Structure 1
Amino acid sequence: MKRRWNLFTYPTMDIKAAEAMLNRQAEQGWRLEKVWLGLLASFVPAKEPVCYCIDWYDPNREDGTDYRTLLADAGWTLRRQTAYRNIYEAPAGTQPIQSDSQLEYQRFRKKVLRRMGIGAAVVAIYLLVMLLLILGTGGWDWMATAYLLADSDLLSVMLPLLPLILVGGGAWLLRMVWRLWQWNRAIREGQALPVPGRRSAAVAKVCSLGGWIVLLIFLVAILLDVLGKRYPVSTLAGFTVGSLIVLFKFQGEEYRRRRRYGVAMLVVCLTALVAMLVLPEGLTDPIHVQPPAVLREPLEEMQEQGDPAWGKEESSLLLYHSSWHRYGAPDEWLQVEVWTARGDRLADWVWQQTMRELRENGTPEAEGTDVWRVMLGENDDLWLLRRGTTVLWLEGSEGFLTPLLAQLQEVEL
């Protein structure tokens, strides 16, 4: 069948632009077939002329039976639902669902604005708590950031994208404020809510598509964390119980969509639980950052020569980190920190931050492009080396450091 496609990533405040686009397609003889994942609208040839109207919608609760019956009696048939929007279709020439701009704006506030405000408040509170924690510890520790980058695929993509997310969120908020001002002015002047220009709506659609792409990246990162068994089973079990509570508590027809969300969440949580319990370890290792084998071999050899007091290793899409201690005879000890980055820019950042710590905590005896040394005592040294995109922090007694340094100094990448 012949079809036409149109990007349908209109932001919430551009509901009038989405409605105008649907009606332009209808005037050209096309009828809405489906909206795919809220991203693409497909159209098929219309057998009879139609028109469209988009109404505000609360995604967590359906409209009442009386309201739906009233629209049906007026000739409007619900065609599709997307976030905050019901798309209605009727024969061409049918009277609009709402011709009073003030009532339409009131319905927007009731159905959409409050819920959006709650979501914005939650994000603002989260950012405020993070800021207070940072200020309470005297500033953000670079190593804490590096640990987060290495410990989770989700955080390894979220933190680099955070500035873009904040800029996009700020632009979205400004656009919403501008749109509210336009609507209030139209209400005061007794006019219909204004329709955004086609160029403005197109730019907004493309920017919204960017938000969907970021969301997709986050979902893929979450999947990788699940495959890497990085989420506690108790957390997934808690989400599973929460999904069951939603399904049992909200039984009415008005909660149909909320129940669909609950079913989707239940399926996702159960699938993640099964994956974490059944799948083998190391499935994501091939795509995670790993230190070069020529560096790993001498480090592992040195580590195996004694019993380390403790050790840990984590790796993500952006950064690898391992840390361990080794103790031997009295006064013989070794601490190793290894960072391997995906790319020179991140490696430069780790190198600069570690050198800054050396400048703050001691005076280097010798300085080079990739080797720093700080004397801690008569027989104890601290060495900082860089090989390619790998940064090594070696601290301990000469008995352990000397053979390890001899091997590492010979490594060429």
Structure 2
Amino acid sequence: MVNNRRFILSGGLAFSEQRDMNKLSRLAAEGWILESFAFLGYYVRRSEPQQLTYAVDYNKVSDSDRADYCDIFEASGWTHICSEERIHIFSAPVGTKPIYTDTDTKVEKYAHLVRLMKPFLAAPLFTLIMFALYALLQSAGETTLLENILITAGALSLIVSVPILMTFTVAFIRLKRVKS
């Protein structure tokens, strides 16, 4: 039996957005068309080879506005492929005018991503607070249950905080580069 679906690893859209889109385009030319997001990557399905360009947009879109949102892109030749939370991937035949063509739209794209990431910066702040409280209690001498809870919460929060900080930093750097 031939497997008509496979998993493709992502480099992380924050770090390798264009590389991922180029990879998906190469796969489409080989007959593997993007189907959906997956944890740490994408699912592609076997199809006729196609010459496609892929693009990503970061936007919070409610379910009730999704059709209108996709219609805007469709009017420019782009087809909505999949969405996950605030990340949306579109495809179009090679040669279609890019979604983001000028500096202003590129600035808006990355400014929007930076705005989306700001609430998540609470996790690194929480991590710092947990470690600061732990350090204060540690200086008191005896190890307590509260100290163990603080260090555990801080460590778990750190695991979440590192990718958040990395993603925010990359988005912020991209925004600054596009602006200059």
Normalised by the size of structure 1, how large is the TM-score? Answer: 0.35
Amino acid at match of 2:27: Q
Identify the residue that residue 158 of structure 2 maps to in structure 1. 166
Identity value in percent: 20
Asked if structure 2 preserves the Cα contact closer than 8 Å seen for 1:3 and 1:45, the reply is no
Contact 2:83 2:89 in 1 (8 A): yes
Letter of the 1:30 counterpart: W
The 8 Å contact of residues 15 and 170 in structure 2, kept in 1 or not, is answered as: no
Q: Taking structure 1 as reference, are residues 101 and 38 closer, same or farther at Cα in structure 2, changes over 3 Å only? A: farther
Aligned to 1:185: 177
CA distance in 2, matches of 1:117, 1:34: 26
Q: Per-residue deviation at 1:7?
A: 0.9
The AA in structure 2 aligned to 1:185 is: R
Q: 2-side partners of 1:48 and 1:17: how far apart?
A: 18
Look at both structures and tell me which one has the larger radius of gyration over its CA atoms. Answer: 1
Equivalent AA in structure 2 for residue 131 of structure 1: A
Counterpart in the other structure of 2:30: 28
What letter is aligned with 1:107? K
CA distance 1:9–1:140, shift in 2 (3 Å): farther
Which residue is 1:142 aligned to? 143
Which residue of structure 1 aligns with residue 80 of structure 2? Answer: 78
For residues 82 and 51 of structure 1, what CA distance do their matches in structure 2 show?
19
**What is the count of residue pairs matched by the alignment?**
177
CA–CA separation in structure 2 for the residues paired with 1:65 and 1:171? 31
Query: For residues 329-352 of structure 1, what are the alpha-carbon distances to aligned partners after superposition, in whole Å with 9 as ceiling and x for unaligned?
Result: xxxxxxxxxxxxxxxxxxxxxxxx
What TM-score, normalized to structure 2? Answer: 0.70
State the secondary structure of the residue aligned to 1:18.
helix
Tell me what 1:91 maps to: 93
Relative to structure 1, the CA distance from residue 182 to residue 98 in structure 2 (aligned partners, 3 Å threshold; closer, same or farther) is: closer
Consecutive unaligned residues of structure 1, counting only runs of 5 or more, are 149-154, 189-413
Structure 1 105/69 Cα, relative in aligned 2: closer, same or farther at 3 Å?
same
- Give the distance between the partners of 1:70 and 1:160, measured in 2 at CA: 44
Change (3 A) 1:109 1:139: farther
Which AA in structure 2 matches 1:55? Answer: D
Report the more deviating stretch, 72-81 or 61-70.
61-70
Partner of 2:18: 16
On the 8 A contact 1:55/1:87 being kept in 2, the answer is yes
Cα distance between partner residues in 1 of 2:159 and 2:170: 17
1:242-297 per-residue CA deviation (whole Å, 9 max, x = no partner) reads xxxxxxxxxxxxxxxxxxxxxxxxxxxxxxxxxxxxxxxxxxxxxxxxxxxxxxxx
2:71 to 69, 77, 99: 69
> 1:176 offset after TM fit, Å?
4.7
CA RMSD, Structure 1 to Structure 2 (Å): 3.8
What code does the residue aligned with 1:20 have? N
Pair 1:121-2:96 in alignment: no
**Higher RCO (C-alpha under 8 Å, 6+ residues apart):** 2
CA pair 140-43 structure 1, distance change in 2 beyond 3 A: farther
Q: Residues 113 and 91 from structure 1, CA distance in 2 versus in 1: closer, same or farther, beyond 3 angstroms?
A: same
8 Å CA contact 1:33, 1:44 repeated in 2: no
Aligned residues of 1:35 and 1:42 also touching (Cα < 8 A): no
Q: After superposition, where does 1:238-249 map in structure 2 within 5 Å? A: none
Q: Which amino acid is 2:102 matched to?
A: D
Deviation per CA, 1:81-137, whole angstroms, max 9, x where unpaired?
124320112233222111124322323322x31231221135404632662475268
Cα drift, residue 147 of structure 1? 6.2
CA distance in 2, matches of 1:25, 1:137: 54
Shift of 1:18: 2.0
Q: Secondary structure at the match of 1:78?
A: strand
Gaps of 5+ in 2: none
CA distance in 2, matches of 1:74, 1:107: 17
**CA–CA separation in structure 1 for the residues paired with 2:138 and 2:37:** 48
How far apart, in 1, do the equivalents of 2:19 and 2:43 lie? 14
Aligned residue runs from structure 1 range 191-230, under 5 A: none
2: CA distance, partners of 1:122 / 1:171: 10
C-alpha distance in 1 between matches for 2:38 and 2:159: 27
Secondary structure of the structure 2 residue equivalent to 1:142: coil
